[in-house]
A and B are shown apart, each in its own frame.
Chain A
């Protein structure tokens, strides 16, 4: 092997294909039937269950778990998909420790919640593996809807609309569907090309036409879409990345974490993905964790994730932070980047006093030949004419924008929390509202 952990600079192939495949295998394996039965048995079938309230898509969790417990995972899957058509992906990527499982009463009782996410995966996998799609399209309404963006928001919206009998055109700038499910989510959370099989499975509803490599603002124009369709949904996510406001922030060794991950997600065996010997990731969210962990899994010798506030301020959950450290990532808290130098990154230590971030005067140099920036994404190319709020497309509770006939949801719109499951909920709810409006009920 030509390269290894210690090869200086930024190179590919620090580990061989086999080691990488092992590193990037499924984070939480599938349950076998016995494990599923034992896990399902723990659910108390709570009344007005707190786990449901904590799920952004309101999946009827006690019901689906009872359906698993009584030997009908297919019915369980139907219960899940009724609320969340991307229940398969959500079972893999939801930070359950801050959503349903945090709310589970058995977390309060024993500090050990019912494993809702894995049970959800058990049910949805059963149905998807069998190629069953338990929904039928209603009779054609003759209405046409355009959906921009084939991410979780766009797909959930398209499916709900198609189910109600509308004809849906989905446009996406990328050559594949799935949005960040395909280009962003950590590879070990969605193994075996799950994102694409999920898109294919979702399209079985019929009535949805996909138009890839078609970008709004380039080959596609919003006014034209409004003319050709009865309603438009925008689910274009956040295409831009926040710049690093520091000296040397555009240095050649600085790369967007999302680009690094996208490259990695599209690579066949990841032996062609270049990674530094010493990597510094700047940021404290899920993207930072994913970039850091995956850099480590590719064979980087040292990976440091630096966040300018303390542990509690980090948007990556405790579980995610533990995942990172268990993979050998070092997390540096209270360290704000000051400059990117030839040697690496200079940090100034911070402290938070009365809610304000202050420099302590102490500094730290960390060697790096690769710096990944993960300090948030922005809406880069919002179509003109729509009211924005804090940089996102302004929508009401039903997902309607300031322009009649145009709805929006997911990361590009106000109100969410940048999670896959929230994007699904918003896409679904917007579709319901669009349907009402299309049928003259709203």
Chain B
């Protein structure tokens, strides 16, 4: 068993799997059971001042499913905690006292003025919590009141509030970012400028999941009307990974710890976030779909992976960051061809339809349904690989330097060459 003990901006936890601030961390009952199930830490459901907010009493969630009704994306219109502040604080204190080895982070959202922050921070500190997370991400409801994403979308506000918090508490401050912006690096830089100890991302993506075609209300429908919600779950993982990588490889924020959130469902998802530079991960939808027990698979899987790779957790963190680059630096002399494993092929013809109708007419189909790649036409786009129902049936095979690419008739070059020096690039610099 690999050592999964984790330290994130000074906060220790037995593993890098935290529950994100959301219903799973809404109250003592949940959090105790989460800790019993093995979660390394929690970010408590976002607190605000009394009078506490109210939630709708109709449906809060909408969803997108894959085959077999596998939940792929969840959308919610829930607000921050709808329980009194004092009750939450008392419970946080009790749970932290009983589980001193677990990370206890408290998420906060109060109006964008110094006084409220100054007032709430000591109350949280008093619970013995390890850190605070500033919820600048919630895209619905709270943003209409000038909080959540309304702050997170304005870098100056992020910096200002973060600075207040750093002034008024000794606890580490994690700033939770919204993905509902154009360039994630600006809010991350603002958080850093304000003195944030870390950022966490992503919060949910603004969304409408579906429209009822009989009542013409967006779902979830509250008495015939719907409001945009926040999208999360496996569907948002690619968005989150990109944003994590953007921050990790930005020279200005390269050393800013990142807590990766968004669609983490299995140990593999977690490992990917870590490899792109996240110091730990937070999970919400997967726990809401399958229950707290899934952390066992995350623990056993990550541990086995690290053992097999003979890596420590720290070795994994950021391991893929240097490999994230801009398009213009990709090697244009790297040539691959799709290859179909005829033994694995079940002859469904999906690769053919995809390539013939929408790509490069690079797959042939015989009368007896044998599908083969035509190397002269294959541009190596990978579409067939992605539509084939059989994993690893179609693979991309790299051409060796010296071979002739039958499509271009050119010899595959050994040297790396990218767009910046390509003759077709009007602004190419001459290669030295």
A residues sitting closer than 8 Å to B (CB atoms) are 33-34, 37, 41-42, 45, 47, 62-63, 66-67, 69-72, 74-75, 78-79
Judge whether B291 is part of the interface by a CB distance below 8 angstroms: yes
Interface string of B282-298 (1 = CB under 8 A from A): 00000000110110110
B290, B293, B301, B392: the one within 8 Å of A75 (CB): B301
Judge whether B344 is part of the interface by a CB distance below 8 angstroms: yes
Cα separation A62 to B266 with both chains bound (whole Å): 14
Quick check: A70 and B391 within 8 Å, CB to CB?
no
CB neighbours (8 Å) of B290 from chain A are 45
Quick check: A34 and B301 within 8 Å, CB to CB?
no
B267, B344, B390: the one within 8 Å of A70 (CB): B267
CB neighbours (8 Å) of B301 from chain A are 67, 70-72, 75
B392 shortest CB reach to chain A, Å: 8
Judge whether B300 is part of the interface by a CB distance below 8 angstroms: yes
Judge whether B304 is part of the interface by a CB distance below 8 angstroms: yes
Quick check: A37 and B391 within 8 Å, CB to CB?
yes
Judge whether B268 is part of the interface by a CB distance below 8 angstroms: yes
A-B contact pairs, 6 of them (CB 8 A): A34-B392, A45-B290, A47-B291, A66-B294, A70-B301, A72-B301
For residue A66, which residue of chain B has the nearest CB?
B297
CB neighbours (8 Å) of A75 from chain B are 297, 300-301, 304
CB neighbours (8 Å) of A42 from chain B are 68
Cα separation A42 to B187 with both chains bound (whole Å): 41
Name the residue among A69, A75, A78, A79 with the largest chain B CB count within 10 angstroms.
A75
Quick check: B300 and A78 within 8 Å, CB to CB?
yes
Cα separation A62 to B292 with both chains bound (whole Å): 13
A67-B300, A72-B304 known; 19 new pairs, CB 8 Å cut-off, are A34-B344, A34-B390, A34-B392, A41-B68, A45-B291, A45-B293, A45-B294, A47-B291, A47-B293, A63-B293, A63-B297, A70-B266, A70-B267, A70-B268, A70-B297, A72-B267, A75-B300, A75-B301, A78-B300
CB neighbours (8 Å) of A69 from chain B are 266
Cα separation A37 to B300 with both chains bound (whole Å): 18
For residue A64, which residue of chain B has the nearest CB?
B297
Cα separation A63 to B68 with both chains bound (whole Å): 19
Q: Count residues of B near A (Cβ-Cβ below 8 Å).
A: 18
Cα separation A34 to B392 with both chains bound (whole Å): 9
B306 shortest CB reach to chain A, Å: 12
B196 shortest CB reach to chain A, Å: 33
A371 shortest CB reach to chain B, Å: 48
A211 shortest CB reach to chain B, Å: 35
CB neighbours (8 Å) of B68 from chain A are 41-42
Within 8 A of A (CB), among B256-310: 266-268, 290-291, 293-294, 296-297, 300-301, 304-305
Cα separation A41 to B305 with both chains bound (whole Å): 21
CB neighbours (8 Å) of A72 from chain B are 267, 300-301, 304-305
Cα separation A74 to B267 with both chains bound (whole Å): 14
CB neighbours (8 Å) of A34 from chain B are 344, 390-392
CB neighbours (8 Å) of A67 from chain B are 297, 300-301
Interface string of B158-180 (1 = CB under 8 A from A): 00000000000000000000000
Query: Which 7 A-B pairs rank lowest in CB-CB distance, beginning with the nearest?
Result: A75-B300, A70-B266, A66-B297, A45-B290, A72-B301, A72-B304, A75-B304
Name the residue among A41, A63, A66 with the largest chain B CB count within 10 angstroms.
A66
Cα separation A67 to B297 with both chains bound (whole Å): 6
Name the residue among A45, A47, A70, A78 with the largest chain B CB count within 10 angstroms.
A70
Within 8 A of A (CB), among B223-274: 266-268
For residue B300, which residue of chain A has the nearest CB?
A75
A355 shortest CB reach to chain B, Å: 44
Cα separation A42 to B294 with both chains bound (whole Å): 16
CB neighbours (8 Å) of B268 from chain A are 70-71
Cα separation A72 to B2 with both chains bound (whole Å): 15
For residue B290, which residue of chain A has the nearest CB?
A45
CB neighbours (8 Å) of A47 from chain B are 291, 293
Cα separation A62 to B294 with both chains bound (whole Å): 10
CB neighbours (8 Å) of A79 from chain B are 300
A67 shortest CB reach to chain B, Å: 6
For residue A41, which residue of chain B has the nearest CB?
B68
CB neighbours (8 Å) of A74 from chain B are 304
Cα separation A150 to B68 with both chains bound (whole Å): 44
Name the residue among B68, B266, B300, B392 with the largest chain A CB count within 10 angstroms.
B300
A236 shortest CB reach to chain B, Å: 37
CB neighbours (8 Å) of A63 from chain B are 293, 296-297
